[in-house]
Amino acid sequence: MRKGDILLIPFPFTDLTGQKNRPALVLVTTDTDITVAFITSQIKWQEEHDLKLEPSAKNGLKKTSLVRLSKLATINNELLIGKLGNLIEADIQQLNKNLIKLFQLEK
């Protein structure tokens, strides 16, 4: 697994009352864990730092979706259900720009 991969994982609800299998975008990997951003097809509203993705054979998504960069989780690699696809280079570049802005990493 590497940054830009789209995986299917059990993603926790924000109130921690449960979880649902959802697509998620890999941001960081370690030997035992992955940090991911939630992906949703509910695109009625979009935050400034969300990344919009159109479905493609490469990314494996079935609907236009948003990567919610403000909704992150770190999970054990063993919880991974499967890989759906991965981002194209242009999407990874936009992802990097959005993360820099979201986490205020600019000087």
Share of the chain above pLDDT 90, in %: 83
Q: Which amino acid, one-letter code, is at 98? A: N
pLDDT at 68: 97
Architecture of the domain made up of 5-102: Roll (2.30)
**Pair of tokens at residue 91:** 């999407």
Q: Are 42 and 18 in contact (CB under 8 A)?
A: no
CA distance 26 to 67: 11
pLDDT at 107: 66
Instruction: Compute, in degrees rounded to 10, the torsion defined by CA atoms 39, 96, 73, 19.
Output: 0
Cβ partners under 8 Å of residue 22, min gap 6: 8, 9, 10, 11, 38, 39, 40
Mean pLDDT score across all residues of the chain: 94
Reply yes or no on whether the pLDDT at 22 is more than 70.
Answer: yes
- pLDDT (tens digit per residue) in 30-64: 999 999 999 999 999 899 999 999 999 999 999 99
Q: pTM of the predicted model, to two decimals? A: 0.90
Q: Within 10 Å of residue 31's Cβ, how many Cβ atoms? A: 5
77, 84, 57: which is closest to 67 by C-alpha?
84
pLDDT at 65: 98
Reply yes or no on whether the pLDDT at 78 is more than 70.
Answer: yes
